[in-house]
């Protein structure tokens, strides 16, 4: 085992792995000046995963290994640390509050007081069978002064904090960790996917004004609401791009692969835009012959499922209590966000301004043409999260990072395969 010590001037190479229901995406990158340099990209078809949950560890490990191998072949440099995204039914979130009393006459607040207030907020939640992914401060209140971002150094007699807690089921955490171990990798941190996506596609002003992020994955759509610069709500809608593909396969009597092709090349979420006389050719199920189908009919199938997704999203957003504060509207991301007409349909149902969000090319160098797509939002955000995480740790400790075996215990045969030292 090697011990690698990095000074504050060293920019570590990070791996970001986004495990979804339909795909596994790996990016390898590092900080370069004020941008992220993307060194390698790997995509594989997801296996052993359903609605964000791993149901077959061996298959999931194979998909992770394949995706990581492809990225490593291009980057030809081993990541020091790996960050992975997680979402789905096993993730839960809570808005909490806690108050600590400092001194009757008031005194200066220090970092230990802040940590005590944050840790105490978890007492409201039964954490049996759960692991904490994130405990995020929304705002601090010192005595009667609210809206404080950092109370350290202020004087007060009472310190109150509002937090957003995100947890994952122990079983899901174990299955993710086990899948990576079997792939020959060790994850440094698991990150809630919408938090990562938000880093890649939202602007700070939008998060301040109030905005809803809808990350449409293969099996689920993950929702995160931001207001006042902090996350205020998160939830999961149990519908995604795979449901659209499945509906098309049944409605057009064709295979899932052919239905996916139709969705990508001919799909539209707003069927009224499609001429009545436009036709497409579709392969018959189990046959080599082609059938002629009206494109509008296929798009009506797509529209019905996307409409259901937005109706469920609207219900969830309104139940959060933050709907009136969404002056920035909503941002759609994820692979299905590029469906023609989806932003227009979303705007009509959510009754909000809606745009499609992709990682911005100005924030990246290297393989920017590849990653400037909604399907890479989570992976790009994971890289950014990792870089900010490392910077924060350096700032707090003013020390070098201690990493074992380049931070990601890659098994020996994996190194030998790529002939990396």
pLDDT digits (tens, 9 = 90+) for 375-416: 899 999 999 999 888 877 655 543 344 444 444 444 454 445
What pLDDT is stored for residue 219 in this prediction?
86
321, pLDDT greater than 90:
yes
Please give the CATH superfamily to which domain 241-298 belongs. ATPase, substrate binding domain, subdomain 4 (3.90.640.10)
Domain 91-169 CATH assignment equals 3.30.1490.110: yes
Burial per residue of 261-296, b for 16 or more beta-carbon CB atoms within 10 angstroms, e otherwise: bbbeebbbbbbeebeeeeebebbeeeeeeeeebebb
Distance CA 261, CA 290 (A): 14
Token reading at 397:
């400790």
Burial per residue of 318-341, b for 16 or more beta-carbon CB atoms within 10 angstroms, e otherwise: eebebbebbebbbbbbbbbbbbbb
Expressed in angstroms, the distance from the first to the final Cα of the chain is 13
What pLDDT is stored for residue 394 in this prediction?
59
Q: pTM for the whole thing?
A: 0.86
309, pLDDT greater than 70:
yes
What pLDDT is stored for residue 409 in this prediction?
46
Q: Strand, helix or coil at 160? A: strand
| DSSP string across 174-223 | HHHHHHHHHTT---SEEEEHHHHHHHHH--HHHHHH-EEEEEE-SS-EEE
Sequence ranges of the domains in the chain: 3-89+171-195+360-418, 91-169, 203-239+305-356, 241-298
Query: 203-239+305-356: same fold as 3-89+171-195+360-418?
Result: yes
Report which secondary-structure segment, H or E, holds 242.
helix 241-252
What single DSSP character describes residue 419? T
For 138-147, 156-165, 264-273, 368-377, which range has the lowest pLDDT when averaged over its residues? 368-377
Query: Which of the listed CATH numbers 3.40.640.10, 3.30.420.40, 2.30.40.10, 3.30.70.330 matches domain 203-239+305-356?
Result: 3.30.420.40
Q: Which whole number is the average pLDDT over 305-320? A: 96
What pLDDT is stored for residue 49 in this prediction?
87
The pLDDT > 90 percentage for the chain reads: 69
Mean pLDDT across the chain, nearest whole number? 87
Domain 3-89+171-195+360-418 CATH assignment equals 3.30.420.40: yes
What pLDDT is stored for residue 137 in this prediction?
94
372, pLDDT greater than 90:
no
């Amino acid at each position: 085992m090697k011990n690698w010590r990095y000074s504050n001037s060293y920019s570590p190479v990070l791996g970001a792995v986004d495990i979804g229901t339909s795909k596994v995406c790996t990016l390898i990158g590092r900080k370069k000046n004020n941008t992220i340099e993307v060194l390698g990209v790997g995509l594989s078809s997801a296996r052993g995963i359903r609605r964000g949950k791993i149901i077959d560890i061996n298959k999931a490990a194979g998909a992770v290994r394949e995706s990581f191998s492809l990225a490593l072949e291009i980057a030809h440099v081993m990541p020091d640390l790996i960050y992975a995204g997680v979402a789905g039914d096993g993730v839960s979130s809570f808005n909490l509050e806690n108050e600590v009393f400092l001194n009757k006459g008031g005194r200066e607040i220090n970092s230990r007081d802040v940590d005590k207030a944050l840790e105490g907020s978890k007492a409201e939640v039964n954490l049996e069978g759960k692991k904490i992914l994130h405990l995020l401060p929304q705002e601090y209140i010192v005595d009667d002064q609210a809206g404080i971002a950092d109370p350290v150094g202020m004087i007060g007699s009472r310190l109150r904090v509002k937090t957003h807690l995100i947890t994952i089921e122990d079983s899901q955490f174990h299955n993710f960790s086990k899948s990576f171990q079997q792939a020959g990798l060790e994850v440094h941190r698991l990150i809630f996917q919408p938090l990562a996506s938000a880093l890649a596609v939202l602007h700070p002003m939008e998060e301040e004004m109030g905005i809803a992020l809808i990350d449409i994955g293969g099996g689920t759509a993950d929702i995160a609401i931001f207001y006042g610069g902090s996350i205020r709500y998160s939830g999961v809608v149990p519908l995604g791009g795979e449901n659209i593909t499945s509906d098309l396969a049944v409605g057009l009597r064709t295979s899932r692969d052919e239905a996916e092709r139709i969705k990508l090349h001919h799909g539209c979420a707003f069927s009224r835009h499609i001429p009545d006389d436009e036709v497409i050719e579709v392969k018959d199920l189990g046959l080599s012959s082609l059938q002629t189908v009206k494109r509008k009919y296929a798009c009506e199938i797509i529209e019905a499922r996307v409409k259901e997704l937005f109706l469920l999203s609207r219900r969830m957003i309104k139940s959060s209590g933050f709907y009136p504060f969404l002056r920035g509207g909503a941002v759609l991301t994820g692979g299905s966000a590029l469906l023609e007409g989806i932003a227009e349909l979303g705007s009509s149902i959510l009754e909000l301004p809606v745009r499609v969000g992709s990682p911005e090319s100005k924030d990246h160098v290297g393989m920017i043409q590849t990653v400037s797509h909604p399907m890479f939002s989570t992976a790009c955000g994971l890289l950014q999260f990792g870089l900010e995480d490392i910077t924060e740790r350096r700032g707090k400790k003013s020390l070098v990072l201690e990493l074992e075996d380049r931070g990601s215990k890659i098994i020996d045969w994996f190194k030998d395969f790529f002939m990396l030292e």
